Amino acid sequence: MLRSSAIYSGLTLVSRFLGLARDLVITARLGGAGNIAGDAYYTALTFPNLFRRMFAEGAFAAAFVPDYSKRLAADGEEAADKFAADALVTMAAAMIAITVACQLAMPWLMRVYS
């Protein structure tokens, strides 16, 4: 478990540094705050980051891991993997539906957001 945690933490750290590098390059190319292109870029990233916080790092992960562990201990690996596959399909379908709905409603969302 310690090894898995170290790998996950290390890759998260690498991801954060790559994100910082991406933001520095984009800011250098598009300009900082007050520049319409830079503002549009950072506004466009707000919604995906919100979804990531809600679903990847938030309540879903907190609810999924304990339930998966219980199923793994009680019903075995096959049942736990079926549960994980069902959860993945459900989450993917929900994310696709939310993404399409947000893309269609983006003109109105931008009015509310800005």
Residue 57: pLDDT band (50, 70, 90) is: low
Q: In the prediction, which pLDDT does 21 show? A: 94
- Given a cut of 80, whether residue 12 has pLDDT beyond it is yes
Q: Any idea which residue has 């399409």 for tokens?
A: 100
- Work out the mean pLDDT of the chain and round it to a whole number: 84
3-state helix/strand/coil string of the chain = CHHHHHHHHHHHHHHHHHHHHHHHHHHHHHCCCCCHHHHHHHHHHHHHHHHHHHHHCCHHHHHHHHHHHHHHHHHCHHHHHHHHHHHHHHHHHHHHHHHHHHHHCHHHHHHHHC
Q: What is the pLDDT of residues 67-76, one digit of tens each?
A: 999 999 999 9
